[in-house]
Structure 1
Amino acid sequence: MTTAPHHSSAPLPTETLGVVAHAAGDLRIESVPLRRPEPSEAVVQIAYGGICGSDLHYWTHGAAGESILKAPMLLGHEVVGTVVQAAADGTGPAAGDTVAVHPATPGGRGARFPDDRPNLSPGCTYLGSAAQFPHTEGAFAKYAVLPSRMLRRLPANLPLRTAAVAEPAAVAWHAVARAGDVAGKSALVVGCGPIGALVVAVLRRAGASEITAVDVHDYPRTVAKALGADTTLDAADAVSIAAVDADVVVECSGNRFGLESAIRGATRGGRIVMLGLLPTGLQPAPLSLVITRELELVGSFRFNDEIDAVLEALADGSLNVEPVISHEFGIEDGLEAFAVAKDASASAKVLLAF
């Protein structure tokens, strides 16, 4: 399904096939221009791209949270591939190296943030994001021009297909780190979409003693089980969720019902990591329990350099992610791939093969 890497000695194309969101409900597989790289940029032949919830939101709603589509935008930030033209300034990986991509560009002024947490910088841009205008183009294309600083060489024994999950796994890794030391502790994961499932995998690797995973659908619960959950519960089973009494909870559903489950399922003095992005505005929640149980609510947003640790853990086999990859489609079947990815009851991480 994938082609052999382009040879850097041959001229690069001026156009490439990409996945472009034009407006709500208007997703197209079409030719897009391949711009000339700046001296600090490399050209990567993309092998795989994972479809993220934000990609689905741009397609279905024309927006992802506060980021509203104002012009056609190339989607995609979960990508891996092979460098076919290294950066002219000598930075970054060499031609022929297989790489994962860290899609963030920290920056911006106006709001304070901790120096060691660039993910919180106010003007941080992300590949395939409409947060700024002009939009930050993504990398769901056969070729992508990317800053060399975004590229992470893959360990020699790590296949590109497995590495395609590195970016969402880094999001999960960051969230588990926000929970503190989880070794020997009981954990509850609310919402078992791809991110929640990967949180289960990271918790298992980090030594959590007992992991309970909750979802509204059977299929995601099956994936969570395959990734290391000891017990799975239906999200409607409020009595069983409240009885979990978990030391650590990671809320991955991004809705108020999931947050309520997270609060009720946490033990007294426990910590809840809020990873699922709640809708804008006020959200009802049983906050009296947060007070009387002295619960800690902490946010988790994207990641910093955790992707490096993830790649090492994928390479040495200590982080098991294979069960989260449910489907693979060629780029020509990209519209079908998005339709499958939209159905959370029947898919987990859907990959596009370029």
Structure 2
Amino acid sequence: MSTQIQASVLHGVKDLRIEPRDLPAPAPDELQIRVASTGLCGSDLHYYSHFRNGDILVREPLSLGHESSGVVTAVGSSVSNFQTGDKVALEVGLPCEQCTRCKEGRYNICKDMKFRSSGKSFPHFQGTLQERINHPAKWCYRLPEELSLDVGALLEPLGVAMHAFKRSQMPKDATVLVFGAGAVGLLCAAVFKLKGAKKVIVADINAGRLDFAVKNGFAHQSYTVPMRRGKDIDENLEIAKETAAEIGKLDGVGEIDVTFECTGVPSCVQAGIYSVRSGGRLMLVGMGHPIQTLPLAAAALREVDIVGVFRYANTYAESIEVVKEAMQSGPDLTKLVTHRYKGLEDAPKAFEMAGKTKDEDGKLVLKVVIDSIEGAKSGSRL
């Protein structure tokens, strides 16, 4: 028996509509979940604003949203480890589970990955800005009673930070630099502190975000990156070198063991290469400019490893434990949720806010969350 639900559906640039969909009963291996909390991320915003994300074009109406949690409303016949009423976080990427990468445990780079709210696979795997969805129980994670649904939604971007930490091979008592104080950069900083980094420095052009990072215990120190641009690549590289040197002169910093670049901005990637010590690592977390000019000799001659990070794999269980630890020792990850909108009807307002750094009252914008409340009106062009 199917249930009619409402979904927020993107039809073009900033063209969101609420439409009815028939949702069948969950398959034997699935859960039916009332989506409760969905955070908006950069890829969602790109699709909303451009109807594409880089080279990925939207080819059919698409529901956005993938940072989500919810409540189980129905359980498939072969599922025994969940029951109705359970709070769950959703891992929304479904790999093939048969290829070599999947068998290595690196399913995040499975070439046949289906990822909710992404236009890469076709037909598109519809996102979570719907009242309810069916999702394989294997990719759902029960939330402990003490964790809120907001935290459940944050487990998705937290997974990126956890995956970056694992791939970094961060040494004990490391000094770590994070470029970018957006939600992912702040989550990276929090994970590194909780995983034993001796010192975490966050660098960004936005002084308000840096102030938030230090005051709320996400980082030990901060550095405001100056807005400097050179007239050519040589001058830009010199500016990047100066930025790295200035960070290294901060009180008590010294050598940086690992730099995590969370912006994708060429000047930050360049400064990331110069900032890290010989034999250290530069982690490319941010998805920015696809083609960049980099001082590779400065990396190769000092054996600086440049390592890519794409989404996450095998992170949710450990991320839940990290969140529980953060509840005891800080930082308070829920403070990342700065703006909330109720119901699918408010999705356009939420997307517009997610594209800002401050709201009309001057309040910092970090993570915008949509609470999906059942009962949306269909036929609305938003």
Structure 1-normalised TM-score? Answer: 0.90
Tell me which amino acid in the other structure corresponds to 1:293: R
Q: Distance in 2 between matches of 1:303 and 1:50?
A: 17
Q: Does 1:327 align with 2:335?
A: no
Secondary structure of 2:181's match? coil
Alignment of 1:161-310 (within 5 A): 161-225=150-214, 226-236=216-226, 238=240, 239-243=242-246, 244=248, 245-280=255-290, 282-310=291-319
| Runs of 5+ consecutive residues of structure 2 not aligned to the other structure | 228-239, 249-254, 359-363, 373-382
For residue 92 of structure 1, report the CA deviation from its aligned partner.
Answer: 4.6
Q: Please tell me whether the aligned partners of residues 2 and 25 of structure 2 are also in contact (alpha carbons under 8 angstroms).
A: no
Q: Please tell me whether the aligned partners of residues 193 and 344 of structure 1 are also in contact (alpha carbons under 8 angstroms).
A: no
Secondary structure of 2:32's match? strand
2:366 to 339, 344, 348: 348
Map Cα deviations across residues 217-269 of structure 1 (whole Å, 9 max, x no partner).
22322332224212212222753433424111001002212211211221222
For residue 135 of structure 1, report the CA deviation from its aligned partner.
Answer: 0.4
Q: Give % identity.
A: 29
Secondary structure of 2:258's match? strand
Compared CA separation, residues 47 and 230, structure 1 to 2 (3 A): same
Instruction: Name 1:106's counterpart in structure 2.
Output: 95
Q: Distance in 1 between matches of 2:308 and 2:258?
A: 13
For residue 278 of structure 1, report the CA deviation from its aligned partner.
Answer: 3.3
Map Cα deviations across residues 254-294 of structure 1 (whole Å, 9 max, x no partner).
221221121122122211111112333x3111112112222
Tell me which amino acid in the other structure corresponds to 2:350: A
Q: Please tell me whether the aligned partners of residues 186 and 208 of structure 1 are also in contact (alpha carbons under 8 angstroms).
A: yes
| Runs of 5+ consecutive residues of structure 1 not aligned to the other structure | 1-10
Alignment of 1:76-155 (within 5 A): 76-107=65-96, 115-155=104-144
For residue 188 of structure 1, report the CA deviation from its aligned partner.
Answer: 0.5
For residue 30 of structure 1, report the CA deviation from its aligned partner.
Answer: 4.0
Tell me which amino acid in the other structure corresponds to 1:347: V
Structure 2-normalised TM-score? Answer: 0.84
Q: Does 1:14 align with 2:27?
A: no
Secondary structure of 1:137's match? coil
Tell me which amino acid in the other structure corresponds to 1:83: V
1:313 to 322, 325, 343: 322
Compared CA separation, residues 188 and 29, structure 1 to 2 (3 A): farther
Q: Which one is further off, 222-231 or 301-310?
A: 222-231
Q: Distance in 1 between matches of 2:197 and 2:125?
A: 38
For residue 297 of structure 1, report the CA deviation from its aligned partner.
Answer: 0.5
Q: Please tell me whether the aligned partners of residues 186 and 213 of structure 2 are also in contact (alpha carbons under 8 angstroms).
A: yes
Q: Distance in 1 between matches of 2:118 and 2:29?
A: 21
The number of equivalent residue pairs is 342
Q: Please tell me whether the aligned partners of residues 204 and 210 of structure 2 are also in contact (alpha carbons under 8 angstroms).
A: yes
Q: Distance in 2 between matches of 1:60 and 1:228?
A: 30
Q: Please tell me whether the aligned partners of residues 256 and 275 of structure 2 are also in contact (alpha carbons under 8 angstroms).
A: yes
Q: Please tell me whether the aligned partners of residues 278 and 302 of structure 2 are also in contact (alpha carbons under 8 angstroms).
A: yes
Q: Distance in 1 between matches of 2:101 and 2:131?
A: 38
Rg (Cα) greater in structure: 2
Instruction: Name 1:338's counterpart in structure 2.
Output: 351
Secondary structure of 1:312's match? helix
Secondary structure of 1:74's match? coil
Secondary structure of 2:70's match? strand
Compared CA separation, residues 71 and 81, structure 1 to 2 (3 A): same
For residue 67 of structure 1, report the CA deviation from its aligned partner.
Answer: 2.3
Secondary structure of 2:46's match? helix
Cα RMSD, aligned residues only = 2.1
Compared CA separation, residues 307 and 196, structure 1 to 2 (3 A): same
Tell me which amino acid in the other structure corresponds to 2:164: A
Compared CA separation, residues 267 and 108, structure 1 to 2 (3 A): same
